[in-house]
Structure 1
């Protein structure tokens, strides 16, 4: 067995990009944070997206910040549709719960 194969546990070396994908997939929330920000408006619609932003994904619980209690109510009402849309193309983690946090001025926060 070559020295290189022994160093990698008998497997062929892989690219840094492939290694990073494997590592971030194991993180769940960090691996999907960019996808969530990119797909948020598509999943919730432009009106809701203008007043909300995904903040954190931890163990299947997505925390979303909204800028007004009325938008929190709207998200709760549509939560099953939103969860289905976000999970439709799931690669690693599955979002099972929306946790809503009201923070005035939270719409259009900078991405995670």
Structure 2
């Protein structure tokens, strides 16, 4: 009984507030607010998750870093499984992608494929995003012995170590 009276009282107060607003010329909106892009959406309305993420990335200026991260995460499907087994992207800055190869042979292969790789990455990221691919070979090289034992004299013509 008390709930029915409370609901009736609430409806009565709402009607009174609407009438007061109408007298002042402040009628409530009948159309939803429009966003600058022409989309109808009130700020409190629910929206699709993907759209919310895109809006957040655009508002914060994170679109390009997110796209780069996506490419790095999908490296295998972008460059192919054979190349991806022996290479990995390290960084992206100022239009330059640095790729590390696990051997000098694969580093040479990536250098030969650099222009194709730039085209493929720009297909994913947008034209002109990647300008150059730099390749690094494997970290470290053959271990040099340490200590006082050395061969005296100059290196010979067939000496390929070092």
After TM superposition, the score normalised by the length of structure 2 is 0.48
- Which 4+ residue blocks in structure 1 deviate beyond 3 angstroms? 11-16
How many residue pairs align between the two structures?
93
User: What is the root-mean-square deviation in Å for CA atoms of aligned residues?
Assistant: 2.8
Counterpart check, 1:47 vs 2:82: yes
In structure 2, relative to structure 1, the CA distance for the partners of 1:36 and 1:18 (3 Å cut) is closer
1:64-83 correspondence runs (5 A): 64-83=99-118
Counterpart check, 1:17 vs 2:53: yes
d(CA) in 2 for partners of 1:92, 1:78: 18
Q: Give, in angstroms, the shift of residue 76 of structure 1.
A: 0.9
Alpha carbons 1:43, 1:82 under 8 Å: kept: no
Alpha carbons 1:39, 1:86 under 8 Å: kept: no
After TM superposition, the score normalised by the length of structure 1 is 0.66
Alpha carbons 1:55, 1:63 under 8 Å: kept: yes
Structure 2: stretches of 5+ with no match in the other structure = 1-35, 37-41, 45-50, 140-162
Highest Rg: 1 or 2?
A: 2
In structure 2, relative to structure 1, the CA distance for the partners of 1:59 and 1:13 (3 Å cut) is farther
d(CA) in 2 for partners of 1:92, 1:16: 25
d(CA) in 2 for partners of 1:80, 1:92: 13
d(CA) in 2 for partners of 1:57, 1:51: 19
Structure 1: stretches of 5+ with no match in the other structure = 1-10, 105-112
Q: Which has the higher strand share?
A: 1
